[in-house]
Amino acid sequence: MSKSLRKFATFLMIKTLVTLASILPRRAGHALFGGLGAVAYRCLKRSRKVALANLHLVYDGKHTDRELRDIAREAFKNLGKFAYDAARIGKYTPKSLERMVEVVGLDRVDRVLSEGRGVIVLAGHIGNWELLGAYLALRGYPLNALATRVSDRRLDDLLVGLRRSAGMTVLERSRSLLGAFRCLKQGELLGVLIDQDTSVESVLVDFLGHPAKTPVGVVKLAAGTGAAVVPMAMLMTPDGRYRLEIKEIGIGGDVRMRRICLAVVLGLVLAGCAGEEVERSPAARDRPLPDQVISGFSLTETTMGVKDWHMDADKAYIYEKRNILEAEAIEVTFFGPAGEVRSVLKADYGEINRGSDDMEAIGSVVVTSSDGVILETETLRWESELRKIMSEDSVRIVSGEDVLTGWGFRGDPDLGSFRILRDMKATIKAKESVAEDG
């Protein structure tokens, strides 16, 4: 069977199961899908071996081989039941979910949101993670789900459609940094599954007595936005209902605590000298950590000996192999051809591609031109070749008492010439009028 035919067959099978789930009552659906889970345990030899190997790794000597096989089989059956409930997420209502789900700790989420902070919903492939997202979204929480795109576009559209039908906003993982940062800065929820071994920046942590590779991106996001990291799991109870367990890990919202958290995540022990070599433990040597961490960092970019811009940052993280520089609390000064200051940009975070010299600013971005025009947005990028600044986010431009707002921006760094891409509104105080684009 060709690869394209296998993809189509997989899509057709999942589409059929989703349709069945939408029409079957819950008891019958659990019986059918649980049975399919048991069949999968027998037929999917590789998955069965992985499950049994992991159970032996943790419970070896505490359970017999037969007991471990029974546990693995029941896990597959439960996954089938989870799949039935997840396939119906577009049909649930807040009231129907209240009857099906008992919640412990939701006040922790409410408390963080009341402070104006975002919440990172930290989940794993345990229990019914899809129902977890649907529950929060249907309860009215602004949930953004970070998801990896499926290679088959038809299947990806099906899965994304299901999540959106429950009120979730879906962010594609490979293009999600700006969206994730923005939603947290706006005091929303970001759902992340982090328990699968990946090739992204990670650290080794103890998990059930064994070292496990754990991505650090979640804590870096929390450190950069002041968001709270809140572990959650939607677990099935013996009566077939669910119990949503919500815990809390606090990430400080003040700037000093965010920087401390980021340093801890990166696994660095700084001796107080800029650029000092860091001693790393044997377990840490395989981690993709920065090659240099420099406090009080400065960088000037020139073209033919003429300054384009100069950046100061509280701290910089340099990745030689990736040819990337990341920086915290940045201030960038843009210069004109005669060396005059054109504008100054400030932001929480910046990333520079040293190959192309393109720059991205993220979080509370403010550009102030030399003649006092101010641009405010959440993300902004400098494209070196075009010598333009650009944004896809909402923007606000203030000139004296006149205000322009809208979405998307293209323009010169001095804000002398620019274009707002859509939904532009203009408030001209001198004329006491409001204009909107057509």
Which range (15-24, 48-57, 186-195, 251-260) has the least confidence?
251-260
What burial class does residue 118 get, using C-beta atoms within 10 Å of its C-beta: 0-12 exposed, 13-18 middle, 19+ buried?
buried
What 3-state class would DSSP assign to 187?
A: coil
Q: How confident is the model at residue 266 (pLDDT cuts 50, 70, 90)?
A: very low
| Averaged pLDDT, 92-98 | 90
Task: Provide the mean pLDDT of the chain.
Answer: 82
pLDDT, tens digit (0-9, with 9 covering 90-100), for 276-328: 333 333 333 333 467 788 889 999 988 877 888 999 999 888 888 888 888 88
> Domain locations in the chain?
1-87, 90-267, 289-436
CB-based contacts of 229: which residues, under 8 Å, 6+ apart? Answer: 120, 122, 218, 219, 222, 248, 249, 250, 251
Whose structure tokens read 């915290």?
328
d(CA 335, CA 304): 14
What 3-state class would DSSP assign to 72?
A: helix
Whose structure tokens read 């650090």?
216
> How many CB atoms sit inside 10 A of residue 112's CB?
24
Phi, psi of 310 (to 5 degrees): -135, 130
| Averaged pLDDT, 201-205 | 72
Confidence check: pLDDT of 367 > 90: yes
d(CA 113, CA 107): 10
DSSP 36: H
Q: Which helix (H) or strand (E) holds 392?
A: strand 388-399
Confidence check: pLDDT of 57 > 50: yes
Residue 420 backbone class (left: φ over 0; alpha: ψ -120 to 50; beta: rest): beta
Which residues on adjacent β-strands are paired with residue 391? 409
- Give counts: helices (H), strands (E), the chain: 11, 19
What burial class does residue 64 get, using C-beta atoms within 10 Å of its C-beta: 0-12 exposed, 13-18 middle, 19+ buried?
exposed
Whose structure tokens read 């009215």?
140
Whole-number pLDDT of residue 251:
55
Write down the pTM of the prediction: 0.60
C-beta separation of 356 from 368 below 8 A: no
Question: Which whole-number Å values give the CA distances from 364 to 333, 380, 436, in the listed order?
Answer: 16, 10, 25
Phi, psi of 200 (to 5 degrees): -80, 175
Between these two residues, 156 and 136, which has the higher pLDDT value?
136
Q: Which residues of 285-316 are buried (b: 16+ CB within 10 A; e: fewer)?
A: eebebbebbbbebebebeeeeebbbbbbbebb
d(CA 232, CA 143): 14
Beta strands in 151-291 (DSSP E): 169-172, 189-193, 202-207, 210-215, 228-236, 242-246
pLDDT, tens digit (0-9, with 9 covering 90-100), for 16-46: 999 999 999 999 999 999 999 999 999 999 9
Which range (168-172, 175-179, 283-287) has the least confidence?
283-287
pLDDT, tens digit (0-9, with 9 covering 90-100), for 79-90: 999 999 999 998
d(CA 347, CA 324): 18
Phi, psi of 269 (to 5 degrees): -115, 105
Confidence check: pLDDT of 181 > 60: yes
CATH class, domain 289-436, is mainly beta
